[in-house]
Structure 1
Amino acid sequence: MTANPLAPSWLPQPEDSNDLPRAVWPQNAGRAVDGELVLGGVPASDLIARHGTPLYVVDEADARARARGFREAFEREGARIGTGVTVYYAAKAFLTATVAQWMASEGLSIDVCSAGEFAVASAAGVAPARMGFHGNNKSVAEIDEAVGAGIGAIVVDSPVEVERIAAAAERHGRVQAVRLRVNSGVHAHTHDFLATAHEDQKFGISLAEAPAVVASIRSHPNLRFLGLHCHIGSQIFGADGFEQSAARLLGLHAELLAGGEIPELNLGGGFGIAYTSVDDPTPVDVLARQIADIVAVECAGLGIAVPHLAFEPGRVIIGPSTVTLYTVGTVKPVTVSVGEAGAQNHDLTHTEMPTHTDMPTHTDMTGIQSPTAVRTYVSVDGGMSDNARPALYGADYTVRLANRRSGAEPALVRIAGKHCESGDIVVYADYLPGDVEPGDTLAVAATGAYCWSLSSNYNYLGRPPVVAVQGGEARLIMRGETIDDLLSRDPAIARATRKAPTAQSPAAQRVS
Structure 2
Amino acid sequence: MTLLEIFPSLRSEMPSRLDSAVWPRDTRYDGEGRIMVGGVALADIADEYGTATYVLDEQEVRSRCRAYRRAFPEAEIIYAGKALMIRAVAEWVTQEGLSVDVCSAGELAIALSAGVDPERIILHGNGKSSDELRTAVRCGVGRIVVDSLTEITLLSALATTRQRVLVRLSPGIDVHGHPAVRTGVTDQKFGFPLGSELADEAVERILRRSNLELVGFHCHLGSQIYNPDFYGEAIRRMIGEMARVRQIHGRILTELDLGGGHAVATSTRPDEVRRQPCAGPSAGEAAAYRGGDAEMNVQELAEVLDDALDAGCARHHFPRPRVALEPGRAIVARAGVTLYRVLSVKHIEGGHTYVTVDGGMSDNPRVALYGARYDVVLANRHPCGPQMTATVAGRHCEAGDVLAVDVQLPADLRPGEILAVPCTGAYHHSLANTYNSIGRPPVVAVRDGRARTLVRRETVEDLMSREVGV
The residue type equivalent to 2:184 in the other structure is A
1:134 shift after superposition: 0.4
Tell me if the contact between 1:18 and 1:401 (Cα under 8 Å) persists in the aligned partners: no
The residue type equivalent to 2:136 in the other structure is A
User: 2:15, 2:82 → 1: CA distance?
Assistant: 33
User: 1:17, 1:416 → 2: CA distance?
Assistant: 27
Describe how 1:121-270 pairs up with structure 2 within 5 A: 121-169=111-159, 172=160, 174-207=161-194, 208=196, 209-258=198-247, 259=249, 260-270=251-261
Counterpart position of 1:47: 45
CA deviations 1:222-263 (Å, max 9, x no partner) are 111111110010111111221222222111111112221201
Describe how 1:321-340 pairs up with structure 2 within 5 A: 321-335=335-349
User: 1:278, 1:163 → 2: CA distance?
Assistant: 48
Tell me if the contact between 2:46 and 2:418 (Cα under 8 Å) persists in the aligned partners: no
User: 1:17, 1:456 → 2: CA distance?
Assistant: 37
The one of 313, 317, 320 equivalent to 2:334 is 320
Tell me if the contact between 1:401 and 1:443 (Cα under 8 Å) persists in the aligned partners: yes
CA deviations 1:437-479 (Å, max 9, x no partner) are 2111000000011000000000011000001000001110001
The one of 70, 76, 81 equivalent to 1:91 is 81
User: 1:139, 1:203 → 2: CA distance?
Assistant: 15
Tell me if the contact between 1:136 and 1:204 (Cα under 8 Å) persists in the aligned partners: yes
User: 2:416, 2:165 → 1: CA distance?
Assistant: 53
User: 1:398, 1:294 → 2: CA distance?
Assistant: 36
The residue type equivalent to 2:234 in the other structure is S
The one of 263, 267, 286 equivalent to 1:272 is 263
User: 2:166, 2:181 → 1: CA distance?
Assistant: 22
Counterpart position of 1:344: none
SS of structure 2 residue aligned to 1:21: coil
1:18 shift after superposition: 6.6
User: 2:189, 2:294 → 1: CA distance?
Assistant: 30
Tell me if the contact between 1:18 and 1:433 (Cα under 8 Å) persists in the aligned partners: no
User: 1:410, 1:287 → 2: CA distance?
Assistant: 40
Counterpart position of 2:377: 400
1:30 shift after superposition: 1.1
Counterpart position of 2:285: none
1:426 shift after superposition: 1.1
User: 1:335, 1:201 → 2: CA distance?
Assistant: 46
Counterpart position of 2:300: 286
The residue type equivalent to 1:86 in the other structure is E
Tell me if the contact between 1:17 and 1:432 (Cα under 8 Å) persists in the aligned partners: no
The one of 29, 38, 47 equivalent to 2:36 is 38
Tell me if the contact between 1:18 and 1:405 (Cα under 8 Å) persists in the aligned partners: no
User: 1:377, 1:487 → 2: CA distance?
Assistant: 32
User: 1:271, 1:282 → 2: CA distance?
Assistant: 6
The residue type equivalent to 2:30 in the other structure is A
1:411 aligns with 2:391: no
The one of 431, 444, 452 equivalent to 2:429 is 452
User: 1:17, 1:215 → 2: CA distance?
Assistant: 62
Counterpart position of 2:282: none
The residue type equivalent to 1:479 in the other structure is R
User: 1:39, 1:117 → 2: CA distance?
Assistant: 28
1:168 shift after superposition: 1.0
The residue type equivalent to 1:201 in the other structure is Q
Tell me if the contact between 2:226 and 2:297 (Cα under 8 Å) persists in the aligned partners: no
Counterpart position of 2:95: 105
- Percent of aligned pairs with the same residue? 44
User: 1:411, 1:248 → 2: CA distance?
Assistant: 51
Counterpart position of 1:342: none
1:442 aligns with 2:441: no
Tell me if the contact between 1:17 and 1:431 (Cα under 8 Å) persists in the aligned partners: no
Q: Which runs of 5+ in 1 are unaligned?
A: 1-15, 76-83, 337-373, 494-512
User: 2:454, 2:262 → 1: CA distance?
Assistant: 26
CA deviations 1:377-405 (Å, max 9, x no partner) are 21110000000100000001111000001
Tell me which moved more, 123-132 or 250-259. Answer: 250-259
User: 1:234, 1:418 → 2: CA distance?
Assistant: 29
1:138 shift after superposition: 0.5
1:26 shift after superposition: 0.6
The residue type equivalent to 2:321 in the other structure is P
Tell me which moved more, 469-478 or 294-303. Answer: 294-303
The residue type equivalent to 1:332 in the other structure is K
1:418 shift after superposition: 0.4
The one of 354, 357, 374 equivalent to 1:377 is 354
The residue type equivalent to 1:459 in the other structure is N
Tell me if the contact between 2:79 and 2:93 (Cα under 8 Å) persists in the aligned partners: yes
The residue type equivalent to 2:163 in the other structure is Q
Tell me if the contact between 2:16 and 2:29 (Cα under 8 Å) persists in the aligned partners: no
1:17 shift after superposition: 9.2
Counterpart position of 2:452: 475
SS of structure 2 residue aligned to 1:320: helix
The residue type equivalent to 1:67 in the other structure is C
The one of 324, 327, 333 equivalent to 1:310 is 324
Say how many residue pairs are matched. Answer: 430
1:212 shift after superposition: 2.0
1:277 shift after superposition: 1.2
User: 1:480, 1:325 → 2: CA distance?
Assistant: 13
State the structure with more CA Rg: 1
Stretches of 4+ aligned residues off by more than 6 angstroms: none
